[in-house]
Amino acid sequence: MPSTRSRTLPAPVRALCGSLCRDLARGLCALVWPVACCACGSQTEPPGLCADCAPGLRARPAPRCTICDDRLPAEAPAHRCGRCLARRPRYARAWGLFDYAGPAGDLIRAAKYGRQPAALDALSRAMIGHWPPGLDGEPPSLVIPIPLHIKRRARRGHSPPLRIAAGLCRPLGLRLGRRHLRRVRDTPEQAGLDDSARRRNVRGAFAARRVAGHDVLLVDDAMTTGATVDAAADALLRAGAHRVRVLCAARVERDAR
Ligand SMILES: [Zn+2]
Ligand SMILES: [Zn+2]
């Protein structure tokens, strides 16, 4: 009775067999069904964007807020947006590299909802190509991805911010901090909430440890008003971080919120 025997195997052996079977199934699928471009659906390899869609990952146009990186009207008299003038965020500076409405959003949705985490590797490579000059001169001492709550992580099977951060740290030789920030509350999705509701939703959602004195770069996949990264920055600063800056792959522009 094979099923009875397999039930008696130790848990680590069962887990290893499961992961080997999954890898084998993935390899067979890739042979039979070629990978599709996340933006237009045409065939491409490796997973991500085809040669026609890749140039669509362009830097967002200026002018932008020098604190939160939100778009400013062309005739804006200040270098900061109204929200940052009214209440300065806890992080020192944020960058949202690509417009979420373009191919960057396609890659993120393919990873989050289409079970293609490898699409995020294309995004990490593009982020390195658009690395903010402000980060070049003063590299962070620790790169920390925005953590998912353990329940959401289990549902999704992977963490997009962690995958993106790992894809940045490896080639750039930066230190990845996987266990310095935890999501202690399972907050509902932020989509559809206004700015103040978003702030209430994530208040006290994070706990940080072993970050004293570190110059932290927080990494997330997408940023809308910045309420989530601000709450995470607050937890890191309370735990003794020297400075927190934020790097997001994509920004939801003001007119798309
Ligand atoms: Zn394409
Ligand atoms: Zn701002």
Q: Residue 6 — very low, low, confident or very high, per pLDDT cuts 50/70/90?
A: very low
Is the predicted pLDDT of residue 31 greater than 80, yes or no?
A: no
Q: Which two tokens stand for residue 214?
A: 């570190």
pLDDT digits (tens, 9 = 90+) for 198-216: 888 888 899 999 999 999 9
CA of 148 to the centre of ligand 1 (A): 29
Q: Please report, for the domain that includes residue 232, its CATH number.
A: 3.40.50
CA of 85 to the centre of ligand 2 (A): 7
User: Has residue 26 been placed in a domain?
Assistant: no
- Give me the sign of the Cα torsion angle 110, 183, 229, 225: positive
pLDDT digits (tens, 9 = 90+) for 136-194: 889 999 999 999 988 888 888 899 999 999 999 999 999 999 999 999 988 877 777 78
Q: Ligand nearest 89 Cα, by number? A: 2
Distance in angstroms (rounded) separating the CA atoms of residues 53 and 70 = 24
Is the predicted pLDDT of residue 73 greater than 70, yes or no?
A: yes
User: Has residue 207 been placed in a domain?
Assistant: yes
Q: Which domain holds residue 134?
A: 35-72+89-256
User: Has residue 9 been placed in a domain?
Assistant: no
- Residue 241 gets the label, from left (phi > 0), alpha (psi -120 to 50) or beta, of beta
Q: What is the pLDDT of residue 163?
A: 97
User: Has residue 160 been placed in a domain?
Assistant: yes
CA-based nearest residue to 83, from 238, 256, 254, 255: 254
CA of 52 to the centre of ligand 1 (A): 6
Residue with tokens 């806890």: 90
User: Has residue 60 been placed in a domain?
Assistant: yes
The arithmetic mean of pLDDT across residues 11-36, rounded, is 57
Q: Is the separation of the CB atoms in 143 and 217 below 8 Å?
A: yes
Q: What is the pLDDT of residue 241?
A: 98
For 153-187, give the DSSP string.
HHHHSS-HHHHHHHHHHHHHTPPB-SSSEEE-S-P
**Residues forming beta bridges with residue 94, ordered by sequence position:** 246
Distance in angstroms (rounded) separating the CA atoms of residues 131 and 136 = 7
- pLDDT over 70 percentage in the chain: 87
The arithmetic mean of pLDDT across residues 69-73, rounded, is 93
Total count of domains within the chain: 1
Burial readout 54-70 (b: 16 or more C-beta within 10 A, e: otherwise): beebeebeeebbebbbb
User: Has residue 218 been placed in a domain?
Assistant: yes
CA of 106 to the centre of ligand 1 (A): 10
- The pTM (predicted TM-score) of the whole model is 0.84
Q: Which two tokens stand for residue 250?
A: 């994509």
CA of 219 to the centre of ligand 2 (A): 18
**Where would I find the H helices in 33-176?**
82-86, 103-112, 119-129, 133-137, 150-156, 160-172
User: Has residue 11 been placed in a domain?
Assistant: no
User: Has residue 8 been placed in a domain?
Assistant: no
Q: Is the separation of the CB atoms in 43 and 69 below 8 Å?
A: no
Report the greatest alpha carbon distance in the chain.
77
Is the predicted pLDDT of residue 18 greater than 90, yes or no?
A: no
Q: Ligand nearest 254 Cα, by number? A: 2
The arithmetic mean of pLDDT across residues 4-20, rounded, is 54
